[in-house]
Structure 1
Amino acid sequence: MTYVKALGVLLVAITLIMLMSYWAAGRARAALDADARDKLLAEGHAYSFLDLPQGTVHYRLEGPETGQLVVLVHGFATPSIIWSQYFKPLTDAGYRVLAFDNFGRGLSDRPDTVYDADLFDNQLSGLLDALGVNRRVDLVGYSMGGGIVTVFAARHPERVRSMTLIAPVGLGKLSNERTEMLRRPLIGDWIIRLFGTKMFYAAAAEEAKSIPNPGPLLAAVNRQLQFRGYGDALLSTMRNYPLETADAFYATVGASSLPVLAIWGEADEVVPFDHAERLMELLPQAQLRSYPGMGHNIGVADPDLVGGLIMRFLGEQEARITSPGAAGKPRGPLARMESRRCASCGGNSGDTAITPPIPQAN
């Protein structure tokens, strides 16, 4: 009986220690409030903030006001700084470019809510409304951002001109033993609260090894980790967002005539390239470009490659609208780009050659 009582006391003590450490770890980080945002702006770490019903959004908007708007949506854990190399080429080409931090990430608020498809769809639609965007936009989504823009295009087709997906989620299994453990109540919350900062930074540092200039990215990742609620937001996303089960949204877009470009690294270990087969089943109109030897971070590892593909695809949309086809009607897309091995191209981004555009007959 003594042993049973001792075991009970020990379990109670362990539970109290876990609860106290959980609470202390959360309070140890700073609140992302108005004072913090003012300081971030003053130090040059932020661009602009805008209040939405669900919370404050950090965003960057540049380029000519009359330019076609391109919206860049980042992925699960890394903030919108991943798009920093895309702004100048796009704005120099005359596009207006918008990137923002998803709720719970970067310098946007971490609202105490369920991080599901509705939250991120409302954030994107609310941001466009608040900025007075009243015409179709070109959406670019990386990883989870690919899921976000697909949901948006399925729900608001009248607001979208084209969609570019870079290794998008929602098409199959991503989970492993670690993520399954994190999804469990209580234990997952405790692990994230106490060890999430080290886990997320380590993952970002590993991914940054193949990036030409990783300093700014890692600094932004570290900055977002300093504010309260980041880990909780990611955990809620893991439990509530359709990271593996967004087929219905892809099918809705696939039943439309929306132009779609898909870009994938064939060595992707986060969102496996095998998922591209399912993507093409659901989005038969998509143009798929894949690159042997490239991983999940293809967009930041080779922004010149990915940015060039995006620019070319956007140019096709301009031509599709302005070039008359039969009976004076606009043409369809001017080319269909397919993955093709190139024996003379060498490693990395050159492994797949770019097939010249093939004009459609009038």
Structure 2
Amino acid sequence: MGLIGKDAWRIKERKRKNMSQAVRQQLAPGKFKLLRHGQTHYQLAGDPTGPLLACIHGWTTASYVWEQLREEFVNLGYHVLTYDLYGRNFSDRPPNVAHTADLYSDQLTELLEQLGLGQRRLNIVGYSMGGAIAAHFVNKRIADVDRLLLIAPAGMEIRAPKAHRIAFENPEFFDPHILLALPVPLRWQFRRAAFGFWNEKPVREVRRKQFRELDYKGYVPALLASLKGILARKMIDEHERIAASNSISVKALFADGDRTIPWPDAKTLFDEWNPNQVSVRIRGAGHGLTYTHVDQIMNETRGFMALESPGR
């Protein structure tokens, strides 16, 4: 058994609470649809007759990272869909399921169908791991998508948090589960993502909701499964096929203080894979830019997202 062994991990996970219906009724702000792998928590905002915009969140966070940007997108005229990926926030935590690009892409496809939105033209925004999901999803539905906005997107390089990488490289000493199960690495990661904006009110609210995840079973296994699944490969094929289609407007934002999706390496790869698309550097931001740099994001994307424009 390792120094931080599997028994300790099981005990820690066993003590966590279930994401029950009672918890959802008390805390969840949105509604639910039962999909193939369980309940998915979602919210729709804005004019139902407006163009549909689906927002896909990242690895350790959930749909609450969109709360400020959702209002901005609604003001632009979009009908905005935000939802929780499997294993996060109020959605179900399906056991023994590989957290691959297909799992998450299928979740969005099923949710759109259940909501009666499956035949609508689509605009997609993906943040962090959601950027990798977005690339995979759009690659499957190129003919249906008008715009793809990527914010600090994963899938450029294969990276893992330092503590977790150490665990994988030294399995005789560490169990990767327990390093994710403990609150210290998550708190450290969040503080780094917030990049100097730790105590601002919107950031404190995201922090509170993210740390609440550690109270419930299934969250940590979902993080680990994502590292082994969707985050274990580059999205070069997806990006090159989207670029070759020449039918989708694509823009990517990269934070110059991001140590999770490091700039400029990730931006360089994006530019190589998408030579005719646009990428932008957001100055002074870390990985949490969806909740720390909303104004800068909108300054860079308002023209791209404007409905009267072709998107580019």
TM-score by length of 2: 0.89
1:2-54 alpha-carbon deviations (Å, 9 max, x no partner): xxxxxxxxx7xx89x9454333211211111222222224xxxx321211111
User: What is the correspondence of 1:1-362 to structure 2 with a 5 Å cutoff?
Assistant: 18-41=5-28, 46-112=29-95, 113-133=97-117, 134-175=119-160, 177-183=162-168, 187-192=174-179, 194-195=181-182, 197-208=183-194, 209-210=196-197, 212-213=200-201, 214-257=203-246, 258-273=248-263, 274-315=265-306, 318-320=308-310
Offset, 1:63? 0.7
* Sequence identity (%): 27
Structure 1 letter corresponding to 2:218: G
1:123-174 alpha-carbon deviations (Å, 9 max, x no partner): 1111111111121111111111111100001111133111001111111242
SS in 2 for 1:233: helix
Decide whether the 8 Å contact of 2:258 with 2:286 is kept in 1. Answer: yes
Root-mean-square deviation over aligned CA pairs: 2.3
Question: Which one has a bigger Cα radius of gyration?
Answer: 1
Decide whether the 8 Å contact of 2:126 with 2:149 is kept in 1. Answer: yes
Q: Distance in 1 between matches of 2:238 and 2:79?
A: 27
Structure 1 residues without counterparts, runs of 5 or longer: 1-10, 321-332, 336-362
Q: Distance in 2 between matches of 1:172 and 1:244?
A: 8
Decide whether the 8 Å contact of 1:21 with 1:194 is kept in 2. Answer: no
Decide whether the 8 Å contact of 2:98 with 2:225 is kept in 1. Answer: yes
Q: 1:203 to 1:193 in 2, by over 3 A?
A: closer
Q: Distance in 1 between matches of 2:228 and 2:128?
A: 17
TM-score by length of 1: 0.77
Decide whether the 8 Å contact of 2:56 with 2:127 is kept in 1. Answer: yes
Higher relative contact order (CA 8 A, sep 6+): 2
SS in 1 for 2:64: helix
Decide whether the 8 Å contact of 1:62 with 1:91 is kept in 2. Answer: yes
Decide whether the 8 Å contact of 2:177 with 2:221 is kept in 1. Answer: no
Decide whether the 8 Å contact of 2:253 with 2:280 is kept in 1. Answer: yes
Q: 1:243 to 1:61 in 2, by over 3 A?
A: farther
1:216-246 alpha-carbon deviations (Å, 9 max, x no partner): 1112112222110111110111112145422
Q: Distance in 2 between matches of 1:294 and 1:21?
A: 36
Q: 1:253 to 1:198 in 2, by over 3 A?
A: same
Offset, 1:189? 4.3
1:88-124 alpha-carbon deviations (Å, 9 max, x no partner): 2222332111111111112211111111111111111
Q: Distance in 2 between matches of 1:19 and 1:276?
A: 38
Q: 1:281 to 1:18 in 2, by over 3 A?
A: closer
Q: Distance in 2 between matches of 1:123 and 1:164?
A: 19
Comparing 107-116 with 240-249, greater Cα deviation is found at 240-249
Structure 2 letter corresponding to 1:313: F
Q: Distance in 2 between matches of 1:32 and 1:232?
A: 14
Structure 1 letter corresponding to 2:273: L
Structure 2 letter corresponding to 1:55: G
Decide whether the 8 Å contact of 1:146 with 1:168 is kept in 2. Answer: yes
The size of the alignment, in residue pairs, is 303
Structure 1 letter corresponding to 2:188: A
